[in-house]
Structure formats: C-alpha cells, structure tokens
Amino acid sequence: MDDIIQGIAIYALPVIFAITLHEAAHGYVARHFGDPTAEMAGRISLNPLRHIDLMGTILLPLIMFVTSKLLMGSGLLFGWAKPVPVNFGRLRRPKKDMLWVAAAGPGANLLMAFFWAAIIKLGISIPDGIYIKPMVLMGIAGIEINVVLMVLNLLPLPPLDGGRIAVSLLPNKLAWKFAQIEPYGFVILLILLVSGVLGVVLWPLISITRQMIVMLFGLYV
C-alpha cells in the first residue's frame, strides 16, 4: 500500500500537466490560426483546473495505475482532459491548419517529456539530498506518461490527433470518407485496448521514443 501511495504522489503532477497542457496547446494554436473559440471559453490557460475532467484526468489514470501495481504489471497509463473547443471552420485555411492544431497536443507532450528529462538530468547532477530520488522518479514518470500520450494520440484514428492530421493530409474525397470514422473512433480504440492489439502496436513505438529521449539527454535511468 505504501508503494501505491508513493507512486500516486510521484505520478500526480506529471499526469495532470501532461493531459491538461496537451489540450491547452490545441487552443493556443487554433487561436494562432484564426479560431478564438478556445480563448473565449477560457481554455488557453496553464491552470489545470480549467481542463481537468474528473473521469479522464483523475479517476481513470488512478484506477489504471493502482490496478497495474496490484497486478505487478506495467500497463498503459493514459487519460484525457475536457476537450478544448475548436471550430475548424473558423481557421483561416481549415483543412491545412487542422494539421497544426491537431499536432499541437502531441507536440506539447514531446516538449514536456524533454522538460522531465531535464529534471532528471538536474536531479542526478546536484549533490546528494533528500529531493534527488523524488525528482528522478517524477522525471521518469513524466517522460513515460508524455511519451504514451504523444504516441497514442498520433494514431491515425479520428477523433485522435493523428486522425485529424491524416484528414488534413489526405485528398479531399478520401479525407471526407476517412472523417466519417470519427463517431466510432473511441469504440474502435476501446476494442483495440481490450483485445491487446493497442499495446502490441504502441509499446514498440513508446520504447523507441523513450530511448531516443534518454539518449538525447545522456540519461541512464
């Protein structure tokens, strides 16, 4: 039980900021390309309270983490925040600009993974102290959750960010047909998760990305 409580304390901040800043990034880039919807809704903010979804940001990651610890496993840990409202029709070039709005979320996760890698680097470079271990463990958690969210959201499945990127890149007729998958996207994702296919697809990509970050920052954790 102590290990679970300690783990929750370590993962809490990385999970909350990974999920909420992902959404805030969508709103910021949408505003840059002409859609002020997220700004008018007060969603371009670094305040997690503006983005937290009770189920997706708190309960689901908590349940997945505790279950993983109890089963002695290392399952996928992910979640979601309240979706940032984006009116793609108000973008200056809706189909083209959709790519950048969609890519902003995974891009934010990549930058946060770099941030947590820098925290680890700082933690292992300072003299011994009581804060070194928590800094390193939180940094490891930060890299893990942000890489998972980035890779997951880049799957080419609407309404995930990768699906919207695909819609932006595909020719108009094919893009319209592909976009029709969106109402069923989360059902498909759930089926892939329960069947184990999602893990088979994601884990190699997650491992490669995580290893690249470790090598980039010269970390051995």
Question: Which amino acid type is present at position 128?
Answer: D
Is residue 182 annotated as a catalytic residue, yes or no?
A: no
C-beta separation of 213 from 113 below 8 A? yes
For the residues of 160-184, what is the DSSP string, one character each? SHHHHHHHHHS-HHHHHHHHTTGGG
Phi first, then psi: give them for residue 160, nearest 5 degrees.
Answer: -65, 160
Task: Please give the Cα distance from 3 to 108 (Å, whole number).
Answer: 30
One of 23, 39, 144, 182 is an active-site residue; which one?
23
Task: Please give the Cα distance from 134 to 123 (Å, whole number).
Answer: 9
Contacts of 4 (CB under 8 A, 6+ apart): 65, 66, 69, 70
Task: Please give the Cα distance from 56 to 221 (Å, whole number).
Answer: 29
Task: Please give the Cα distance from 78 to 76 (Å, whole number).
Answer: 6
Which helix (DSSP H) or strand (DSSP E) does residue 205 occupy?
Answer: helix 197-216
Instruction: Write out the catalytic residue numbers.
Output: 23
